[in-house]
Amino acid sequence: MNQYLKQLKTAYESGNTINKLIYWNIAIAVVTFILSAFFKDVYFDFINIFSLNSQFSVAATKIWSFFTYSFIHAGLIHLIFNMIMLFYLGQLFTTFFTQIQLLGVYIVGAVFSGLFYVAIAAFFPLGGNVVGASGAIMALLFAVTAYAPYMNVRLMLIGNVKIWHIAVVFIFLDVVQIPFGNAGGHITHLGGALFGALYILLLKKGIDLSSFIIFFQKLFKRQKNQKKHFKNVYKNTTATNSSVSNNKDQVQKRIDEILDKIKKSGYESLSKEEKTFLFQQKE
């Protein structure tokens, strides 16, 4: 069992952003499925706390739900479909953008979709709670569509189509299905699509809404390095402390340079040595 957990941990740490998001969605789904099967009362409490309510007065009391709802799924089919979509659209997204931008669009896309859902519910009686990663995934689809609308995508049994054709079909299906059920889900899809297009519009004007990810990444890395530095100060002599501090500064400088390279050219532009260096810093 311990060996299996170690292998799972290694696979998670060595995976890219897409893989890590899929791991998180599956892990939370497993928890909800177990609660649903054996602890009904706890399951309903869990869903009530972390799903997004259509009424702003309720949603505002659990502000975290504007994000957490996107990691909860209504069933196995819902989960599988969303994870397949996330995997393939994530691959398309990283054709043009970085892993950090993918994470930023996914997170902000989920929040924006939730806000869009609650805003629409203020004018139309949607009712109930909404769950699912579809809004965030639609943000990825429409970001790619807005950036490269004539990109060819090969579909099974159909052949090559333009990605904007796929986007239009998704929008059409969501709009026509709103009156027939799951209105909340379709509304969040439309919110995600709107955010994806807005993201590219702002990006072309020099505003990258995913840049906050880099800020927090650097902030957490500095805090981690500072804690390590304080431990070294306690354990070593003054001369050794100076050497350790200089070494940490050099490591942090190297990390910043690699992160800047990722931001400009993407994770795949890194050399094997740079990828290994980054992986070692996670340990």
Most confident of 120-124, 244-248, 271-275: 120-124
Could you give the CA distance from residue 25 to residue 30 in angstroms, rounded to a whole number? 9
Is 15's pLDDT higher than 90? Answer: no
Q: What is the per-residue pLDDT for 238?
A: 46
pLDDT at residue 23 greater than cutoff 70: yes
pLDDT of residue 155: 85
For 63-80, write each residue's pLDDT tens digit.
999 999 999 999 999 999
State the pLDDT at residue 202: 94
- Look at residue 222 in the predicted model and tell me its pLDDT: 61
For residue 161, give the H/E element and its range: strand 159-162
Q: Report the pLDDT value the prediction gives residue 227, as an integer from 0 to 100.
A: 56
What is the predicted pLDDT for the residue at 266?
A: 62
Q: How far apart are CA 211 and CA 100, in angstroms?
A: 8
pLDDT in tens, 218-241: 666 666 555 555 455 444 544 445
Average pLDDT of 88-115? 94
pLDDT at residue 270 greater than cutoff 60: yes
- Give the mean pLDDT of 184-194: 95
Q: Model confidence at 149, in pLDDT bands (50, 70, 90)?
A: very high
Is the distance from CB of 135 to CB of 193 less than 8 angstroms?
no
Q: How far apart are CA 103 and CA 168, in angstroms?
A: 24
Over residues 28-38, the pLDDT tens digits come to 999 999 999 99
The C-alpha atoms of residue 104 and residue 116 are separated, in whole angstroms, by 18
Q: Please check the confidence at residue 137 and state whether its pLDDT lies above 80.
A: yes
CA 91, 96, 100, 102 torsion-angle sign: negative
Q: What H or E segment, with its residue span, contains residue 155?
A: strand 152-155
Mean pLDDT, range 205-229, rounded to an integer? 70
pTM: 0.75
Q: What is the pLDDT of residue 4?
A: 76
Q: Which residue has the higher pLDDT, 223 or 42?
A: 42
Whether the pLDDT of residue 189 is over 90: the answer is yes
